[in-house]
Structure 1
């Protein structure tokens, strides 16, 4: 038989996000019924197969459900009760908040973003407004003002049209990168620079005004390395950026040296003037 080639259904995963795990298990079970033609057999076989496939941990949950003997004979009743356990009633306001807060990640492609939106929307009870809400969230949450501007230019934008525009823009960016990597990188740099300027947070080049040499250089390339400051005698420091204040002994030594030089200069000047005066020449004669 053809259905004998169908692999067995995986048991209910009881770890991680049990809501998503239950939704996946339930959908897989419905498909498994049709694929194996179990849906054409008696419900007692449905129940026995379901209880066998769900796994030990899920079966323990089933045993503790408040079901009557009659209800335990109905596979639909079992699924409904398990669903109430794994996926309890949610707060619609909070679910819609999560949906309306969803934004595309910088390196996330449009299809992955759209899939996240669809998953969040399943618990928002939007009903007939679902496509419009997905379209609006796609426009608001998509990365890149250029794509958003293109979407807003459409006077009659539908969900499918928004998806097509986002996909084509995404493919165009990929093709540009492959055709001219340098131009694409430049465009990316300009976009980041504009975003930085808009946010008011200008980036500062690394190692500007190095405190050891007073110049700009890359890390580990300071020209003052290996030199000795003439002011403080510290290593790896230029004197022109040295902030060391001389102590009292250095000040006094400087004052004494300056005073001695001034006294010596005055005495020399006086000696020269004396030797050149007429009175001194008369006495000498």
Structure 2
């Protein structure tokens, strides 16, 4: 669909697809300036871009007549349909149980924490709790120690600190490898010289 967004995918992890699609749609409303239009026009845009399957789901909703032309209650209905009723305690449990996976990058781990925290209704505590959960769940002990040394570290600074420490570790390992390689080459050169002069 030229100038708009693709329909919502109802295959696979529908709840995750819905969260991503909703964010894209809300961004589209701002970019296209449809937020300035009448509420009924905004609702029509929502139903149009959701696609045929989304419209079929909409037809099953029981909405007050006035709510059918209001974007917020309509979005809430789709939210409940795709994700079920909110269970804040469960979402917080998932956040506080999150650990970095063996094959998971630090960037992806932090992104997953932020996405999960957004579901937890933490208000002003959200960023500081994400920093706490980075320290609790990250695999790199050096990063954990540094984060625990800092008090009231803003989330953006904590993320930057993770990047710096992990980048420094990688560079150190590369330099160590180069040094070891150079030492090996020097030893090989010396053995050649010894062989030449002893013959």
Q: TM-score, normalised by structure 2?
A: 0.77
Distance 1:125 1:45 in 2: 30
**Per-residue deviation, 1:31:** 1.6
Distance change in 2, residues 1:83/1:183 (3 Å) = farther
Change (3 A) 1:8 1:158: closer
| Structure-1 residue corresponding to 2:27 | 31
Paired residues of 1:132 and 1:159 also in contact (CA < 8 A)? yes
Alignment correspondent of 2:115: 119
Number of aligned pairs? Answer: 180
Q: 1:53 and 1:155, CA in 2 relative to 1: closer, same or farther beyond 3 A?
A: closer
State the distance in 1 between where 2:41 and 2:66 align.
Answer: 15
Q: Distance in 2 between matches of 1:142 and 1:102?
A: 9
Map 1:1-285; keep pairs closer than 5 Å: 7-155=3-151, 157-181=153-177
> Greater Rg, structure 1 or structure 2?
1
Contact 2:128–2:153 (Cα < 8 Å) also in 1: no
How far apart are 1:82 and its partner, in Å? 1.5
Structure 2: gaps spanning 5 or more residues: 181-199
- Post-superposition Cα deviations, 1:15-57, rounded to whole Å, max 9, x if no partner, equal 2222222222222222212222222333333233322211111
Between the aligned partners of 1:97 and 1:42, the Cα distance in structure 2 is: 40
Deviation at 1:170?
0.8
Task: Return the alpha-carbon distance in structure 2 between the equivalents of residues 48 and 152 of structure 1.
Answer: 50
Residue 92 of structure 1 deviates from its aligned partner by 2.4
If asked which structure has higher relative contact order (CA below 8 Å, sep 6+), I would say: 2
Q: Which runs of no fewer than 5 residues in structure 1 stay unpaired?
A: 1-5, 185-285
Once the two structures are TM-superposed, the CA of residue 158 in structure 1 deviates from its matched residue by: 4.0
Quote the Cα distance in structure 1 between the aligned partners of 2:94 and 2:53.
Answer: 30
Contact 1:139 1:162 in 2 (8 A): no
Greater helix share, 1 or 2?
Answer: 2
Change (3 A) 1:39 1:181: same
Query: Residues 107 and 95 of structure 1: is their aligned pair in 2 closer, same or farther, counting only changes over 3 Å?
Result: same
**Cα-Cα RMSD:** 2.5
Shift of the 128–56 alpha-carbon distance from structure 1 to 2, 3 Å rule, reads same
CA distance 1:7–1:142, change in 2 (3 Å): same
